[in-house]
Amino acid sequence: MKFSLVIPCYNEAKNLPSLVKRCEKLVSARNDIEVILVNNGSNDNSEQVLAELLKGKPQIRTVVVEVNQGYGFGILEGLRFAKGEILGWTHADMQRSEEH
């Protein structure tokens, strides 16, 4: 695996369909990229939404943090499971456009 992208998600159920679509575009471009979506102690239905959206998408995985301990903890937990030589992370709230 060349690149792992970690995205902590906290109560992002409504944004997850769009986020997963963007992740699908990324991983479909190359087979050496993985995306790790960290369910960072969400108390909405993020876990169920992720389970449904990620069926049949092995390059996009989830890591579950039971109790939210902050954005940084979510990143570190995702990095623990990353397989890439190059590691990166970003926000799940999609405040940045796809071009950036």
Query: How far apart are alpha carbons 74 and 97 in whole angstroms?
Result: 22
- The reported pLDDT for the residue numbered 100 is 53
96 found inside a domain: no
- The reported pLDDT for the residue numbered 94 is 73
What is each CA distance from 7 to 48, 68, 74, in whole angstroms?
17, 14, 8
Query: How far apart are alpha carbons 78 and 35 in whole angstroms?
Result: 10
- The reported pLDDT for the residue numbered 54 is 98
- The reported pLDDT for the residue numbered 97 is 61
Angle at 48 between CA 4 and CA 73, to 5 degrees: 45
99 found inside a domain: no
Condensed to tens digits (0 to 9), the pLDDT of residues 64-92 reads: 999 999 999 999 999 999 999 999 999 99
CATH assignment of the domain containing 35: 3.90.550.10
Stated pTM of the model: 0.93
The total number of structural domains that make up the chain: 1
- The reported pLDDT for the residue numbered 99 is 62
Helix pair angle (46-53, 16-29), 10° resolution: 40
Q: Is the dihedral of CA 56, 62, 64, 70 positive or negative?
A: negative
59 found inside a domain: yes
Mean residue pLDDT of the chain comes to 95
Q: What domain range is 39 assigned to? A: 3-89
